[in-house]
Each structure stands twice: as C-alpha cells, then as structure tokens.
Structure 1
Amino acid sequence: QAGGVNVTGAGPGCGGAMELVAELRGRDGQTRSVRVPCPAVEGEGGQLRGVRQGLAELQQRVVELLAPLDDDHDDDEDESEDENNIDPNASADDPPPKKTKVQQP
C-alpha cells in the first residue's frame, strides 16, 4: 500500500553512471526502493534521451509493484457496487428508472 513515491537522480558524480531511484513508502511505514540505471546515449541530447528511457523503465517497474494493490482496491469497489445496486452508467441528471407494476392474477 503505497503512501507516496519519491524519485531522485544520481548524477554523473557517481562514477559517471546515472540512475533513477523511486522510494515507495507503504501505509505501514515500510520503504521499498526501485533503482533503474539510465543508459548512456551518444549524440546531442543523449543524456536526456537516456533519462527518458530510464523513466519509462522505472514507471513500468513501479506499476508492477503497485498492481496487486490496485487489484485489491478494484475488488473492494466491485463489492460495494453490488451491495448498493449502483448503475455506473447512470447520471444524476437522468430520471429515475421506471418501476414495472406486476398485476396479480
């Protein structure tokens, strides 16, 4: 259960390599770190392209870590919708649904 995500970059001062670090802190206070190296890309704007590639990989890894939490949240929402018989397509501006009268023989 992630309470927040911090992303920091370690610059070229660390042996010339650059990496991105995401720290996920759960509601229980436990911290998990995800580290992704930024690839060295030659040419003009290469460092920026490397950071963008690293960010894409970091995002994918964070999403993978958070996916089980999202599934748990979706299950909770499904249960509450079933209990309340809420039509997710209904709008507050729509008229209430018509009630069908059943005639007894």
Structure 2
Amino acid sequence: MPRSTRVRTRIAHAVRVVEPDSSRVLEVITDQPGLQFYSGKYGAQDACALLVTEFQWTGSKDSIVAEMVNATNAASSAKADGLGVAVVDKAAFKEPVNASGIP
C-alpha cells in the first residue's frame, strides 16, 4: 500500500482580526502555508460604484437571526431589484429565501 506523500506541518496561529464596532474576533489557526482574507465590508459599495447604482443595507447590526429574516422578508415584499443575503441559519431562512425567488 502506498504511503501518504503529505508532509505534516505544525499547526500555528495565522491571524487575528478584530471588528472595532462590535469587538467581534476572528482567529485562524492552520497547518496550511497560505491564507487569503477578505472582509467584504465595502463589497456592496464597490459593486454599486462599478454599476452606477445604489443600495440600502438592512439587517441586524448584531447578527440577530430574527432581525435578518425580517429584513429579508421586507425587501422581498417591497419587490427590491436585488437582494444580498448572508444565510447564517439554514432553517430560519428557508421560507424567506424560497419566497424571494433567490436561486
């Protein structure tokens, strides 16, 4: 039986990111040689600038699922031209996503 050619490396702390407004912390510990991180904070603004359009952010500042679901339902009911959703709870978002027509 062939032996594995994977070289085992030591697990090490790679990065710590702190969001200053909420003090949320992301820490990555890995045994992989590379890391790419994208915060996405200005993704919507950048996309709108490129497409010469605008957006309105709604949701939950504190990632409260019920508030996020309510914002999704409101945008869907208002027939928004577009909808970006971070589905953080598959069960909670099932009905809002299905009703909105998001593929």
On whether the aligned pair clears a TM of 0.5, the verdict is: no
- Choose between structure 1 and 2: higher strand proportion: 1
> TM-score, length-normalised on structure 1?
0.29
- Choose between structure 1 and 2: higher helix proportion: 1
> TM-score, length-normalised on structure 2?
0.29
* Higher relative contact order, chain-length normalized (CA < 8 Å, sep 6+): 1
